[in-house]
Structure 1
Amino acid sequence: MTTTYQDPEVRRALRALADDRPSVRLKAALAVGTAPDERFVDALVERCAVEPEFFVRDMLTWALTRHPDSVTLPRVLAELDSERARARSQALHTLSKIGGRRAWPALTRAHLTDPDDDVARAAWRTAVLLVPDGEEAALAAALATQLGRGGQETQLSLSRALIGLGDVILPVLDTAATAPDPLVRAHALATRRILSDPDTGFAYAIEEAKRVVALDGAPGEGH
């Protein structure tokens, strides 16, 4: 539900943040971030949920980081359960900038497996940044359930997230490399290849992995 703002200054800023021109919205977000004022936090968060331009959304997030975490964090966390995918995605992105480990308990498996690819990618990136020491293996196991998902951009995002956890991902990649689904096996092999050789491009690694999987056939066929 959209908040009704009584303060004229806040209403003016809100109108600018909702202007039809992206350049005006960008300037408004910059202005709010340059002169932080807690009265603007709700307006910034609400605009994040509907802003169509990536560069404006990024400025909105920056403006939020300029306000006290004690004010922004509860408001951003509330957006994680929004019905709007863009709101969930941008909230996750903002948490990666302001949340710290305090936000970790709010990041659930539902976010890591969100049906919207943009939300899931944001959750993967944020989870790797926020994961507490000792929780990396559990996170790797959760992320591995998404191997083989989506197109190349989504698969690259997941591989980057997994690789960000380091060698703790090796057991889950080994398991995934024997999965019945050839897409999962190929994605696991490609991720392991990049982990061992970071200079390998993802497109090359995934195509090479697909060829290996095709030659090997289905697990258990016996070649």
Structure 2
Amino acid sequence: MLIGEVSRRSGVSTRMLRHYDSLGLVQPTGRTSGGYREYSADDIRRLFHVESLRTLGLSLNDAKRALDEADFAPTELVGDLIRHTRQRIAAEEELLAKLERVDAAAPAEWDDVLRIVALLRALESESAARRQQAVLSHDESAPLPVEALVAAVLSEDDPNVAGALQWSLARAAGRGLADLAVGLDSEVVDVRRRAVSAIAAVPAAEATVLLRRALTDSDDTVRGRAALALGSRGSIDSMPVLLDMVVDGQRDVEAAEVLGLLAEVSPAANDVVRALQDTLDNADDVTTRLRITQALAEIPGTSAREALARLADDSERTIAATAAAIVSTQDRGRGSRRQSEC
């Protein structure tokens, strides 16, 4: 069979067939009287063997060794091919993810693409300072690769970089919340903590819904971050968790301040005081009762003041002294306000 017909039947170009011949990979066993290459049935069979090996990723040299060397074992080579293929697939998947993130940002011009790519590369940097600077310096008029920012904030350990990422997502008008919601369902507690912190920075109403969902998380920190954010937004749903935070001493000062804010912006002042009083009456240790007493100082209204006045006569001297000092400070504050009004 002449080279042209072999090419047509095999799909291998005549140029490649001549290259195989020069390498000694597939050499025609005969020549016509005119000097043309003539392939036998065995030559064609070898050609198809070569092409089969090439589909596995073997180089031409490895394919020749596999066919010509009787002691050439495939195990090691196939193992190398598997490793290289996995590396290539991982690289292609990484490239695909990057392209999808660029596309999701909907760049209008090539300058936008370049800015997005620069930010994506900076987010991969080992330098926390570079990552932070890249996020903070990103042109506000340029499209934001929100999906990439979410992925970064859910894996970021550096608090300064995390803060920059949260700020950037907060100005994305609620975009990215769906991906952050996925982070709330992660089995990794650190991911859930990062997710709730990022959601708390987003002012959109959809974020409030997600924060309410986080109130039932199994992790104290996740619940606490959600409660502080919700309470600051005036949501009474956060009150039970905030009360637990005061009792447990988990960011209790912040929790007390937010309880005070809740009492100001909602008709919940009496409910807050009643809940604190009930908890205080059932508490055994002085430290917990002292935290609750101090929390009452943050609650406006007469109910909190009356509770503190009663605590000024508490049998525990530390509780009584603290309550008395708070009442005295509040009285001086009221007196100063009355004088200034006069």
Q: What's the TM-score, normalizing by structure 2? A: 0.48
How far apart are the structure 2 equivalents of 1:162 and 1:106? 20
Is residue 279 of structure 2 the alignment partner of residue 176 of structure 1? yes
How far apart are the structure 2 equivalents of 1:210 and 1:165? 30
Counterparts in 2 of 1:134-213, with a 5 A limit?
136=236, 138-150=237-249, 154-166=251-263, 167=269, 168-182=271-285, 183-195=287-299, 211-212=318-319
Tell me how far 1:112 sits from its aligned partner. 6.0
The residue number in structure 1 matching 2:91 is none
CA deviation vs aligned residue, 1:194-215 (integer Å, no higher than 9, x gap):
3359xxxxxxxxxxx99228xx
| Runs of at least 5 residues in structure 1 that lack an aligned partner in the other structure | 198-208, 214-223
The residue number in structure 1 matching 2:187 is 83
In the alignment, is the contact (CA less than 8 A) between 2:246 and 2:295 conserved in 1? no
How far apart are the structure 1 equivalents of 2:127 and 2:152? 14
How far apart are the structure 2 equivalents of 1:35 and 1:188? 48
| Runs of at least 5 residues in structure 2 that lack an aligned partner in the other structure | 1-93, 103-112, 264-268, 302-315, 321-342
Is residue 28 of structure 2 the alignment partner of residue 28 of structure 1? no
> What is the identity, as a one-letter code, of the residue corresponding to 2:290?
A
Q: What's the TM-score, normalizing by structure 1? A: 0.70
Calculate percent identity across the aligned residue pairs.
20
Q: 1:92 aligns with which of 196, 206, 218?
A: 196
Question: Please, what is the CA RMSD of the aligned residues?
Answer: 3.3
Question: Which has the greater radius of gyration?
Answer: 2
- Comparing both chains, which one has the higher relative contact order based on Cα–Cα distances under 8 Å and sequence gaps of 6 or more? 1
How far apart are the structure 2 equivalents of 1:210 and 1:176? 19
Residues 1:187 and 1:112: Cα distance change in structure 2 (over 3 Å): farther
Tell me how far 1:45 sits from its aligned partner. 0.9
Is residue 149 of structure 2 the alignment partner of residue 41 of structure 1? no
Q: Secondary structure at the match of 2:246?
A: coil
Residues 1:173 and 1:193: Cα distance change in structure 2 (over 3 Å): same
Aligned residue pairs, count: 193
Q: Secondary structure at the match of 1:98?
A: coil
Tell me how far 1:113 sits from its aligned partner. 6.0
CA deviation vs aligned residue, 1:73-131 (integer Å, no higher than 9, x gap):
222233222233343333323333324333333234753665353x3432122111334
